[in-house]
Structure 1
Amino acid sequence: MVVGLAVLWPGGAPAHERTGVGFDRQSQQATVTKVVKLSCTSVNASGGSPTGEAPAAGGSAADGSAAKEDGDCKKATIRVDTGQDKGRTFTEIVQPDQSRQLHEGEKVVVAYEPSAPRNLQYSVTDVNRRIPMTVLAGIFAVVVVLVGRIRGVMALVALAISFLILNFFILPAILQGSNPLIVAVVGASAIMLIALYMCHGLSARTSVAVLGTLISLVLIGVLGSVFIGWAALTGNTDDNTGLIHGLYPHIDMSGLLLAGVIIGSLGVLDDVTVTQTSAVWELHEANPSMGWRGLYRAGIRIGRDHIASVVNTLVLAYAGAALPLLLLFSIAQSSVGTVANSELVAEEIVRTLVGSIGLVASVPVTTALAALVVAADRPGQDAPMGAGAGPGNGSAAVAPAGAQSGTAAGQPRTGRGRRRKR
C-alpha cells in the first residue's frame, strides 16, 4: 500500500481551459440586496428583461418557459461580494413558476462569464448553503463525540484523513491518467488501514477485520471488472461524466465506474468485518472452551442476520439516489426490462449486485479468519469436544453442578412444603 501511494502519488491535477459549463465555470459569492414585484406582461413584452439585464435565473418567458401573463414576476438586484468585481450589482428577472425564488438578504452563488456582454456576465446559479451545512456538520460531530467519546473523536479524525486521501491522492491521480482501478484499490486500502487501526487500535482483532476487508475488496474488484466489461458499461451516462470525458479524454470512464464501486463498498465492508470479528471475540470470552468450528458456526448465525439487513440497506441507498431517474421511467411507462437494460439503470444494478456479493462473502471469510486466530491460542481444543457445548452451540458453558442440583432439588422441596402446609 505504501509503495502504491509513493508510485502513484500525483503532482496535482493537470490544468485546463475553463469551458464555462456546469461546475467548470468561474463563480463568486453574492447577496440579493433588493427584490421588487412587477408585471410579467411587461417582462414578456420587453423580451424577458425590462431593464435590458440578464434573463431570469433558470430561464425566462422569452426562451419558451412561458410565464403566466397575469402573474407577478420579480426583479432582483444582486451585489457581487467576492472577486475583482466586488461591489458590482446586476439584476435578474424571476418568473413566478420557477423552482428557485430569490429573497432580499439571501446569499447566492453567481456564475461569471468574462467573454459575455457586460450586462450578461453574471447570473445566479445556486443558493449559498455554507451556514446550514456547517451547522449540520457541527451537530454531527457533537453527537458522535458525546456517544462515542474517545472512539468518536478518533472516528472523526479518521473521517478527515479519508477526505484528505480522496482529495489529494485518488482524484488527482485519476485526473493525471493513472489507472482508476489501481488508484481506487491503493486509496481504499490506505483509508481502510488508517480508519480501522485508528478507531479500533493495533490488535489481532483489528488485523483480522483488515484482512477480511481486503479479501472482499479484491473480490468486488474482480467481479466488477468482469461484469462492467461484459455488460458494455461505458461509465459516460450523464452531463457530469460527459464533461469529465470532454476535458480529460484519456480517463478510462469504465474504470472510473469500477473505482466508484470499490470506494462505495468500502464503508459498508468495514462495518460488516468489524462486527463479525467482534462477535467471534465476544463468543470466545463468553465460552473459552469453544474451538474454531463452534466459534465459526455461532458467528455465522450472527452474520446471516447482518447480511439480510446490510444488503437491503445497500439496495435502498442506491435506489434512493436514483429515485428521480426511476420516476422518469415510470412516467414514460417503460417496462421493467426496458428500464433495467438502459445503461443508467444497468450501472446501478451492477454496482449494487457486485457490492452486495462482496458484502455477503465478507461474512464467512472474516468469521473463519477470526475463529482460526482465536482458536490458535488454545491448540487441540474444538467445539464439538468442549464440555457443555454441543456441536455448533454458541451458548455459554453449562452451569456448575451445584447450581443444577439446587435447581432440581428446589422443585420437590417446594412440593413438600405445599403438602405440609395443607
Structure 2
Amino acid sequence: MNVLILLAVMLCMAMVMIGGKKGAVSFLSLFINFLILLFTVFMMSNPDNDPILWVIIACVAISCVNLFFINGINNTTIAAFLSTVITMIVLLFFIVITTDLTMINGFGEEEIDELSMFSLFIGISFVELAAVVIIISTIGAITDIAISITSPMREVHLHNPGISRRELVHAGFAIGRDLLGTSTNTLFFAFFGSYLGLLIWFKDLSYSLGNIVNSKVFTAEMITILCAGIGIALVIPIASWITAYLLTRKSSSVK
C-alpha cells in the first residue's frame, strides 16, 4: 500500500511539474475515471440493469472527463467527443455480433480449475459481458486518437483560414495515417506485456501453436486488440469529417 501511495505521489509530481495546471487536472481525471468505472461495475452487477446501456453511459462519461474536463469545451474537444461516441456505438454492434459468433464469452479451460469452487451464475449474459470488456478496453485508445486528430486539424485551420473543407479532411486523414501504425502497435505490446505470464505458462504446458491460437483466453485477448484496432481505424475518417465540418461551417466557429 505504501508503494502504491508513493508511486501515485511521484506520478502526480511529474504530471504537475511538466504539465502545470493541466497536469494536475489530468491526474485528477484518473481518479474520476476510476470512480466512473467502479460505479459502472456496481450498476452492471444488478441483473435488472442492461450492461450494454451502462457501458455506453460510462464511455460517454469517460469521454467527457478526458476531453472537456481536461481540455475545456471548444471545437477541438466537441469534434473529438462526437467522433468518439459515434465510433463506440458503431463498434459496439460489431463487437456484440463478433463475441456471439466467436463464442469467446465465458471462461477458458485454463481458468476453470481456479473458479470451480465458485458459482458461475452472475446474472449477466457472458456475451454482453465480453462486449463490455472489449469496449472499456478500447475507449481510451479511441479518445486519444480522436483528440490527436482534431487538435492538429484546428491548428491547420487557424494558420490557413482559407483552406477548403475537402483539403482539411485530407489533412485529417494524413494525420490519422501517421497515428494508425503506432497506436495499433501500442495495443499489441500492451497485450503482450500484460499476458506475458500466460504465454510463458502456455510454453510450460507444451502447448502447440495451434493450441495457443485456439485457446479461448488467447483468442479473447486477440479479438480485443483487433476490435480496438478497428475502432482506431474508424475514428480517423469520422473525426476528420466532423472536425472539418465544424471548423469550416462558419468563420465565427474558430476560436
Say yes or no: TM over 0.5. yes
SS of equivalent residue, structure 2 residue 139 = helix
Measured after TM superposition, the shift of residue 243 of structure 1 is 7.5
- What's the counterpart of residue 173 of structure 1? 43
- What's the counterpart of residue 201 of structure 1? 72
More helix by share: 2
| Cα offsets for 1:99-139 (capped at 9, x unmatched) | xxxxxxxxxxxxxxxxxxxxxxxxxxxxxxx1111100100
SS of equivalent residue, structure 2 residue 119 = helix
SS of equivalent residue, structure 1 residue 246 = coil
What amino acid sits opposite 1:321 in the alignment?
S
Distance 1:371 1:355, change over 3 A: same
Distance 1:305 1:179, change over 3 A: same
What amino acid sits opposite 1:213 in the alignment?
T
Measured after TM superposition, the shift of residue 195 of structure 1 is 2.7
Map 1:296-311 → 2, pairs under 5 A: 296-311=169-184
Distance 1:333 1:186, change over 3 A: same
Residue 210, structure 1, aligned to residue 81, structure 2: yes
What amino acid sits opposite 1:207 in the alignment?
I
Measured after TM superposition, the shift of residue 332 of structure 1 is 3.8
With CA pairs under 8 Å and 6+ residues apart, which has the higher RCO, 1 or 2? 2
Q: Write the distance in 1 (CA, Å) between the matches of 2:27 and 2:243.
A: 27
| Cα offsets for 1:357-388 (capped at 9, x unmatched) | 00111011101111111111259xxxxxxxxx
What amino acid sits opposite 1:171 in the alignment?
V
Q: Write the distance in 2 (CA, Å) between the matches of 1:358 and 1:321.
A: 21
| Cα offsets for 1:214-237 (capped at 9, x unmatched) | 111112211211111001122323
Map 1:100-179 → 2, pairs under 5 A: 130-167=1-38, 169-177=39-47, 178-179=49-50
What amino acid sits opposite 1:348 in the alignment?
E
- What's the counterpart of residue 286 of structure 1? 159
Measured after TM superposition, the shift of residue 343 of structure 1 is 0.5
What amino acid sits opposite 1:270 in the alignment?
T
Distance 1:142 1:347, change over 3 A: same
Measured after TM superposition, the shift of residue 253 of structure 1 is 2.5
Contact 2:87 2:234 in 1 (8 A): yes
Contact 2:141 2:228 in 1 (8 A): no
- What's the counterpart of residue 224 of structure 1? 95
- What's the counterpart of residue 65 of structure 1? none
Residue 362, structure 1, aligned to residue 235, structure 2: yes
Contact 1:236 1:253 in 2 (8 A): no
Measured after TM superposition, the shift of residue 336 of structure 1 is 2.6
Contact 1:234 1:253 in 2 (8 A): yes
Measured after TM superposition, the shift of residue 314 of structure 1 is 0.4
Contact 1:235 1:241 in 2 (8 A): no
Measured after TM superposition, the shift of residue 302 of structure 1 is 1.4
Measured after TM superposition, the shift of residue 285 of structure 1 is 1.6
Q: Write the distance in 2 (CA, Å) between the matches of 1:371 and 1:240.
A: 53
Distance 1:226 1:132, change over 3 A: same
Q: Write the distance in 2 (CA, Å) between the matches of 1:249 and 1:201.
A: 40
Q: Write the distance in 2 (CA, Å) between the matches of 1:329 and 1:218.
A: 35
Measured after TM superposition, the shift of residue 204 of structure 1 is 2.0
What amino acid sits opposite 2:144 in the alignment?
D
Identity of aligned residues (%): 25
Q: Write the distance in 1 (CA, Å) between the matches of 2:58 and 2:172.
A: 30
Residue 331, structure 1, aligned to residue 172, structure 2: no
Contact 2:91 2:231 in 1 (8 A): yes
- What's the counterpart of residue 390 of structure 1? none
**Superposition TM-score, scaled by structure 1 size:** 0.56
Q: Write the distance in 2 (CA, Å) between the matches of 1:160 and 1:241.
A: 31
Measured after TM superposition, the shift of residue 207 of structure 1 is 0.8
**Gaps (5+ residues) in structure 2?**
none
The aligned length equals 249
Contact 2:68 2:77 in 1 (8 A): yes
Contact 2:63 2:143 in 1 (8 A): yes
Distance 1:190 1:258, change over 3 A: same
